[in-house]
Each structure stands twice: as C-alpha cells, then as structure tokens.
Amino acid sequence: MTFRAPVSEYEFLLNTVIGFDQIAATERFAEASGDLTSAILTEAGRLCEDVMAPLNRAGDLQPAFLDNGVLRTSPGFGAGWTAIAEGGWIGMSAPQEYGGLGLPMTLTTAVNEMMSAACLSLELAPLMSQGQIEALEHHASDALKALYLPKLISGEWSGTMNLTEPQAGSDVGALASKATPNGDGTYAVTGQKIFISWGDNDFAGNVCHLVLARLPDGVPGTKGISLFLVPKYIPDENGDPGEANSLKVVSLEHKMGLHGSPTCVMQFDGAKGWLVGPEHGGMAAMFTMMNNARLGVGGQGVGVAEGAYQQALTYATERKQGKTPSGFIADHADVRRMLMEMKADTYASRAILLACAHAIDMHTATGDAEWKARAAFLTPIAKAFGTETGIRVADTGVQVHGGMGFIEETGAAQFLRDVRVTAIYEGTNGIQAMDLVARKMMDSGEMANSIIDEIEAQAEGARDTHPNMGEAVWQACESLREATEWLVAQDVQDRFAGAMPYLRAFARVLGGHYHLTAAISDQGGPREKLARFYIKRMLPEHAGHLVHAQEGLEGAMALTLDEMAN
C-alpha cells in the first residue's frame, strides 16, 4: 500500500472547522499564516510518504535488539530519525530561543498524527523528546535548559520518560527508586524502571532520561517524589557526551506490536542526575510531559486509523468477489458500511484532537484560564477516544480484508497490533475517563456545560439548512446535559462506574458537532454525506452510553469475586 498523507483533510479542518485563524490572529502565533501552515503540512506529508512509510513494515519484521548490551534499531530507523531531526520536526513547538520553531501545538499535533499513520514505531521517538522538551522548558534550571534543550530540539540527543516500576504501574506513588545527594548539586539515582519507550537507540549522541525517584526525606506517596534528568553519557565541560553514566538497558520487552520501538527495562545504579523542579515536586513536572504525551498518543490512535482506513479502502477497491456493479467488494453494502464507519470516526476523532490542541494554543497565546480549563477537559477525551478509534478502525480494517486480514503479509494486522497499546500507555483510558468525571468536574460541570451550550447553539442554527441533522445533534446535547447534571450530583465511586461510557458519549456528541460543521460548509458534497451517515447512524450510540453511565456503582459491583470466578 502507498500511504497518502491527508494534507487536504487537515487544511479543511484547520481552516473551516477548528478555527485556526483565531490562533494565527494572536500576537504569539502571528507568523502561522495560511501559506506557512499549508507549506508545513505539505512538507511533513512528503516526509511521511517518502521516508517514514517505507520503514513501517521493516520495523515490524526486524525489531530492535540488544547486541552484547548495545541496542540496534530497525533497518532505516537511524536515517528516518535524521530526516525528522534535520527537518526541524522535533522542535516545531519548542521555544525559539533554544532553536525551536515556536509554532502552534495544533500544527505539531497534525504533523505527529501524519507521522503516526506512516510509521508509529518511529514516531514515538520524537514524541518522547517533545514531551521532555516541554517539561524542561517549564521546570528545569536555566543551566539545564541551556545545555539540554538545543540538543534535544535539534535531535542531536533524544529524550525519554521513566515512571513505571515492576511494583508500581498506574500507582506511581508506590515507586521504590531512590535518589541521594552527592554533595555537589547532583544526585545518585538508583532503581529499575520498566516499559520505557525508546529507552536507548543507536542514532542519537546521548539519551536523556527523566526519572522519578524519592529523596531520603521524601514522604510516602506522590507528594514525596522528585524528578531527575539522568543522561546516558555525562556531559563534559564543553557540553559534549563524556563518560558513561551508571545506567543500562537490562532487556527489551517482547511485545504484541510496535516492534520497531524498543521498550526497555532500565537499571539505574547510582547514576548521576540533576534535579528538575523543586524537591518533592516531581509529579507536577512530570505531568507537564505526560499531558503533552496524552495529546500525542491520541494522535497516534487517529494516525493509525488513517493508515488502516487507507489500506482497507485500497484492498476493497481491488478485491473482486460476488456480484456488485463494479465487481469489487467495496460495492457490497456491508463492506461500504464498514468503510464509511472507519472514515467517519477518523474524522470525528481528528477534529476532537485538533480542538484540544487549539485550546492549548489559545491559552499559550492569551493566558486566559478559560482556554486552559477547556484544554484540560478535552485532553482525556482526545486521548481515550482517539486511541479507541484507532483500535476500532484497525480492527474493522482486518474485517474488510476478510481472511487476508488475518494473514500477516497483507499488513492489516500490524495496524491493530501496533495501536492496541495506545489505550494503555500514558494513562490507561479508564484513568482518562476517571480524570474526566472527577478532577475535570470539580467545577460542578461548568466546562462540560459550556461546551454543550456551544454545540447546542450550532445545532439550533443548523435547523434551517440541515433540519434532521441539526435536530439530532440538539437532542443529543440535551441528553448529555441531563447526564452531566446527574453525574456531578453523585459521589466519586458512582461517577467512576460510569466514567468510560460518559466519556464515549461526550466524544460521540462532539463528533456530531464537528461533522455538522463540515456539512454546513459542504452542502451537497461528500462531507455532508459523511456527516449524515455519522449523525444518523453513529451518533445514536451516545444514548446507550449515557444509560450505562447513569447506572452508578451498585450494578457494576453486584457480583462478588467468588461469584465472578464461578
């Protein structure tokens, strides 16, 4: 399959649906003109098509491996990293004073998603560096920023994040890694971390690890955790990689997918590190990186959905079987239904992703707390719905291929294997949903209702030109508002029991809103037809989700563990 970067789709969403002109109208992002945006998307699309997409299958078939303790990456990945770095794609949104381009996160999100569609295993490497860049920008000392940021931004060095330990997964506060002062402003970091994406490579001059560990006086739980920057090679007096630090890759995980991305078990044995942020303030600093990564992981899901859809469509328009007008399976009603669902959901999740990035940029540009709250609310939805869409679309892609989808040589299964982890890492989707109904509802549902108000107002205005679709979206908003009001009146455990269905329902309604926006601008065109399909056939799923969400805790916990085992 030949991958085609969806540049025109992004231009439509940015210009017509998301309101990118609002970002470009700010002083902070005044240089992000329409011509520049188009040029960036076009050039990034060329990189994805010509450089990254050809590496995707090689990474799956020839995974990274350890050779006498030295990590060897998949064929071509080093050249791919160099192309990404030299193009300036790692530092798109990084500060200009350290060599970044200072562009809106909305554009970085679009580029990262295209890269994910082309080769998710490789895209994960610059995503990790981008998260570290943001964490250092906001929390590191001036000296650390001056040394590390230019090299991370240029791609000369790469970055990672080290949270998870064998006994401490999502419960980060249970970590056992320790850090003790060396007496010279540095610290000796000791402990083992697992599931470290791109924990090492053979193409960057240094690998810089952000590591969570506890100081001797750190209290139990998350409040006693600090963050340290621990490089693979300790920089010398000139800032160049010097002696090797006391850390190593113990082993590589054998995974379901993402074979080209080495997932490392890291061992730190008194490794020299530098404190990032205040003592015991590690979680706040790390969440800066994780929030960046959550948006990026949502984009990974959307990207894989795009790749899986393109492959399924190509196969369906080439595979002859049965009696159809064209002779191809794409003209079978059920196959066409699957393709339409894939395309409609990819559009919806992409629009939600960009809307979240748009809010981040508007907060960056204006400092307005309302934009910050909006971005915070949309982040768990963008992450969870984006990744679930990737999994669902990739699974449907296998189904479109029929028996050939179960055969590895077609490549359809790789999309599903690669994307499955996105619903797990950077905070499982269940954690995203609980965050949505708990922390993000601490305002008594004010932000949720503000977004519902906007959608409802648009739907009301669309009743003249698109009466059926406008009415359907309006009614969905009313149902969502009622469920939101019920939710905020419950205790936290009742909220948690329905958190995931509520998130899915909210995402469905947001998808209806963005499809309706497309329909209004493309009357009689293909976008209006796709919107009608989504709103009439897929949006109604929100009702079932909301029924589930409002059932509370009791039914979910009805069976005892003994009863569940029998």
**HSE toward the beta carbon, residue 8, CA cutoff 13 A:** 2
> Helices 412-419 and 282-316, interaxial angle, to 10°?
160
Contact 276, 139 (CB under 8 A): yes
Q: What angle do CA 500, 503, 509 make, to 5 degrees?
A: 145
Contact 106, 357 (CB under 8 A): yes
Contact 266, 193 (CB under 8 A): yes
| CA atoms of 273 and 74, how far apart (whole Å) | 29
The yes-or-no answer on residue 528 being catalytic is: no
Beta bridge partners of 275: 228
Q: What angle do CA 59, 65, 69 make, to 5 degrees?
A: 155
| DSSP, residue by residue, 302-371 | HHHHHHHHHHHHHHHTT-B-SS-SSSBGGGSHHHHHHHHHHHHHHHHHHHHHHHHHHHHHHHHHH--HHH
SS3 431: helix
Beta strand 247-252 with 178-181 is unpaired
Beta bridge partners of 189: 179, 271
| CA atoms of 86 and 462, how far apart (whole Å) | 46
| CA atoms of 273 and 181, how far apart (whole Å) | 10
Looking at residue 74, the DSSP 8-state letter turns out to be P
**Structural tokens at position 85:** 């770095």
Looking at 306, 426, 456, 528, which residue is catalytic? 426
Residues identified as active-site: 426
